[in-house]
Structure 1
Amino acid sequence: MKTKLGQYKKFDFKRPNVIVSDDEINGFCLKIRERYKIDVEKEGTVEKGDYIVIDYNAYHDGEKIPEVSAKNHHSKIGEGFLIKEFEDSILGKKKSDLIEIDVILPDKTSIKYLRGEKVHFEIKILSVMERVIPTLTDAVVKSFKIEEINTIKELKEYAKDNIYYQKMMNQSANTINEIMRKIMGNSQVQLKDEEVNSLKDEIFEDFKKQLEKRNTNLQIYLSYTKKTEEELLEQCKLEAETYLTEKAIIEKIAEEENITFSNEEKERYSNYDQEELNQKLYQKVVLFLLKENTI
């Protein structure tokens, strides 16, 4: 594949005014923290939404029923996993409390001879926990395991970069398309037929899979759109050519402008596959093009 770049700078489009506020950064970090809630031992009584660990033994006519007994059973109160009367007896109790209760087992109980029967339960509460959003510390940030980010400062920089890029992309989508259209019009890219055909087939097969997910198929689609399979394949080929041309131009600009990953970024992206690395490089080149072509 040979690429000859034409003009790719100084097109003078209007630059979007992108500002990332502290509130946006904190909001981004909060969403991450919410995904990593932790269980914290609770001093008070059991409430709905709490997480408990219990031992319980079940007895029928004085005989212990191993199948309905358990040790170190974990459950969330209010989720409906426990029999209502059983769960209600735990509400308001606290760690180390012992509870005894008689429960009529439901008709859908898996053990047939116990369906509709009264069973006596002895319950011991081993632990009461509530799930909370962790306070940000460097240790907590490290536990997130996000791109090798280990400190609060790095997390906030990561948040700012992501928000800035997303806002820039949202506000600049049309500008980016126009910049790329001009660059592609000024440049020459010789594509390899085998690469184009391979990607064309991949796009075509992916399109058929998407149709199947929507409970339809290629024949129905062609009938509805009044297209032939050859026309659709030609459309897929055009998409493949456009994608490969843009990719070649992006890579060439990165080469010409020496747009690479810093040592810190290389370390951060060390576990990324090639597709993810290509996307990160694409982002850097797009931001460069926006900077060079907007005023």
Structure 2
Amino acid sequence: MDILLGNYKGLKANIPYIAYTEDDVNSQIATLLSGNPVRESKKGPVEMGDTAVIDYEGFKDGVPFEGGKADGYPLGIGSGSFIPGFEEQIVGMEIGEDRDINLSFPEQYHAPELAGQAVVFKVKLHDIYTEKAAELNDEFAVSLNIPEVQSVYDLKKHIKEYLDFQVEAKKADAAREQIYDQLLESSSCLVPPAAVDAAVEMQLQQMAAQLAQQGVALEQYVQMTGKTMDSLKEELKPYAQKQAKLEAILDEIIKVEKITVSDEEMDEQYELISQKYGQPLEVVKQVIPKAQLKPDLLHMKASQLILDAAEIIMAEA
């Protein structure tokens, strides 16, 4: 691959003012309070807004159907998470009560064999509780099990340190983007189609991993958005071309600067990955072989060389 390397030292980046506010701290606290609600058991009949802990099993024509059974399921009454009519018929039940719920699946239900069909759910109620946002106090702070957080003061300090880290990361990203754009503009490089295709596949893998964290498969996402896999690949191609060109330029800088990675540096990176994801070292080394990790580390060192040699100007408030 022929590369005409542009200037990669002494580049300049002007970073806009970035900071967090007290509102951001309060927003983080509010998220923690609502995300860790206080549960209060309740006596009497189920009402809208309660959470009912139930066993249920669905039957069609007297025969259990697949996916229609669960034990100890916490169902928010009024959440709309079950098919229409189910939650409404739970209202009024009391702990220990058994009830048959008769209803029909929606005509557009995703399982064709159940769409529009009349079914019966046999339900047993085990518990009822309500949830409310926790109160901000030292007891709540300790309950979060955050190292070194033993009070509200500690919690706010911890949040501010986290927001400081985020601000610095945003500044670094902004600087890196500007400097990379200058490097790409000043360098000439013909990227082979195979390298672009590989970059597209990498983008797809990263997207699939992010979607998996939300419980969504890549194929499902493509279908939901009305795209095809081919159209998604075309959508990703401009960024992939930019990424492939940048990697080729970094490879050239690695050659010119004679950048190397030692075994000790490889081991340190494996340790960091192991700690970050809470996985045994042996597992990390199996998932990320040295042949994959080494080029990534070389690119990281080349990027850092460029950033260290750049002039980064931070705007003031």
Q: Structure 1 length normalisation: TM-score?
A: 0.48
User: Could you say which structure has the larger radius of gyration?
Assistant: 1
Q: Structure 2 length normalisation: TM-score?
A: 0.45
